[in-house]
Chain A
Amino acid sequence: MKNLSAFLIILLLISAGAALADNADPPESVVTEAVEELEVRRAIDLEASDTPEDEGGSVSLTWLMETEGVTPDSLGVMRSDPFGGEEHITTLPVGTVMYRDQSANNGTEYNYWVVSYLGGTIEACSDRAVAISSAQWIYRGRIGMLIILFLIMAVIIYYIEIGKRGKELFIREIAGLTAVDDAVGRATEMGKPVLFIPGIMDMDNIQTIASIVILGRVARKTAEYGSPLLVPTCRSVVMSVAQEIVKEGYLQAGRSDAYNKENIQYLTDDQFGYAAGVDGIMVREKPAAIFLLGCFYAESLILAETGRSVGAIQIAGTAMPSQIPFFVAACDYTLIGEELFAASAYLSREPKLLGSLKGQDAGKLFFLILIIVGVIAASIGDFWSPMKSVAEFLRNLVTVN
């Protein structure tokens, strides 16, 4: 009996040991299956390179994703520098295969890698790629524009030189500008001031620059005729420039004693605050001539209508397409768009400005021909394919990427 009991105990122990051994060492096929279930897709073929044709500080990364495995929740772009510092740059949604690191320092060698997040932890990691960011001088996407600009500049310089040699450069009559002297003369006869409004933008605006050039001419005329010239400005820098220009105009007319810088005032930077202030000046000073030249926005009609109500002759000019209609409706003369920029050359007759205007005309002629040839080529191209490529070439010539 004892032997039987001992045999049974040994048999149980062997069975238990076998069972334990089964748990500790499962069949190989079961292990492989479990590991495959845990594998998370990772980024492969990671490439890092300096972003081409930029000002530097940027590295472009591209990669592919493994097709087999568990899809991660998100991807993370990691970076390390030669000093050992590791940093997480950004988190990207799954499916992203490119990223541009805009925070790189030029000349520093960075190691990049992409990690796969699952449940908030890093589950897979790509191989590493190395890149150094640098700046380039040339951006090839604008070479077409550069060539055209150089051509126009060459033509402008050519005409300036011709003008300097004394050859007369013809500029057609611009109606609003021939009235400038009449307007100042009218103000003188009536014993009333001339009001010049140089728009509401600062000196970095091309229209304000054009307006200030015309102000110089108006200032000289008012100095010659002895009429007060009022220039309320919306920007402090414009006030400073206007004071210089008007002073220069009075000096050229030999009337520096008549210059009063208090007549050139800064009101406020606020658009409608400025409009209210200028309206007040109009109704109180009752100018006989008002010049509204420069960049205007919604205040244009407020100013032009008030000027009209006080009976002033008004000459306006702006390159703002949405404001030109108001000036056309409420003013006596309106310089439309580029006429404002041509005004300075027209009034001064200086060879430099006239040459510049002639050069711009040459540019317009070039674009005019380009458009006509392009349209003909595109239209014929619908029936005869070789012409299509001509139209495409012309389009590419004026394309800026």
Chain B
Amino acid sequence: MNWEILGIWLGAGLTLCLYSFLYRDNPFYKFAEHLFVGMSAAYWVIYSIENVLIPNWWQQMFPAGGGFNWVWIFPGIFALFMLARIIPKTAGLSRMALGMIIGTGAGLNMVSFFQTNAMAQVKGTIISVSSGGVWIIFSNILLVVGVVTGLVYFFFSKAHTGIVGKTANVGITILMIAFGASFGYTIMARISLLIGRCQFLLEDWLPTIPRLLGLGG
């Protein structure tokens, strides 16, 4: 059996099954969808065990050099709390683990978000708008106006009326122009993905049909 051809046919078949959704929901799409969801769920279970549970917990608790790090018992207990949801009477324990996850996530992200999304942006905006060439001055003015008016748009304590409303309108207009550029840029990337799939069907899969029918090629 030629495994390579089998793989190509499997890939092409599933690609066509998924593309059939463009027409309407149908049994072929359902089959591909369920296969995809089921296989990826199973894959991620194994991936989590191999790449998270074993190296980040088990091997930390029982290091390769021997010994036992008892501190790592606590994450294990919290993990068991999550599984406690299976039994209705103990389901409340999972809230402790969930609280730990959400609190830690929010706390850790606060510093990095504030640093990258606020401080670095402010620093990058404190620039001169009076030196350099004409285009540099224009770019700098555009940057400062965009940031200031954008900030005004995201100011929730004041109604968008009067001068605040007009400034916010400038801000959202600049944002929409940026979104439009981003939209076009991303669509181009998606088109290249479509081209890749079409190339696979036309160049890899299609030539195998005459070979299977014994017509050479």
Contact = CB atoms under 8 A, between A and B. Distances in A.
Contacts of B176: 328
Contacts of A325: 179-180, 182-183, 186
Interface of A: 144-145, 148-149, 170-174, 202-206, 209, 237, 240-241, 244, 266-270, 272-274, 276-277, 279-280, 283-284, 298, 301, 321-322, 324-326, 328-329, 336-339, 342, 346, 357-358, 361, 363-365, 367-368, 370-372, 374-375, 378-383, 391, 394-395, 398-400
B12 interface: no
A8 B136 CA distance: 99
B154 A339 contact: yes
A367 B106 CA distance: 22
Interface in B1-37: 18, 21, 24-25, 29-30, 32-33, 36-37
A276 to B, nearest CB: 5
14 contacts: A237-B101, A241-B102, A244-B94, A273-B41, A276-B33, A277-B33, A321-B182, A336-B175, A367-B151, A371-B147, A378-B127, A379-B128, A381-B128, A399-B119
Contacts, number: 186
Contacts of B144: 371, 375
A371 B148 contact: yes
Given A269-B40, A321-B182, A361 B25 contact: no
B120 interface: yes
Contacts of B186: 322, 325-326
Nearest to B39: A273
Interface in B115-161: 115, 118-120, 122-123, 125-131, 144, 147-148, 151-152, 154-160
Contacts of B159: 170, 172-173
A242 B122 CA distance: 36
Interface in B184-207: 186, 190
The A interface is mostly helix, strand or loop, or mixed, namely helix
A374 B98 CA distance: 43
A244 B95 contact: yes
A280 B33 CA distance: 7
Interface in B69-118: 82, 85, 94-95, 98, 101-102, 104-106, 108-111, 113-115, 118
Given A145-B111, A324-B179, A375-B128, 8 more contacts: A209-B105, A266-B41, A269-B40, A273-B39, A325-B179, A338-B154, A363-B118, A378-B128
A276 B25 contact: no
A296 to B, nearest CB: 12
A400 B33 contact: no
Contacts of B147: 371
> Top 10 A-B pairs ranked by shortest CB distance?
A204-B105, A270-B40, A374-B126, A273-B40, A325-B183, A269-B44, A268-B41, A325-B179, A379-B130, A378-B128
B44 A270 contact: yes
A277 B37 contact: yes
B105 A400 contact: no
Contact of B126 (A202, A203, A205, A395): A395
A274 B32 CA distance: 13
Contact of B158 (A172, A241, A277, A329): A172
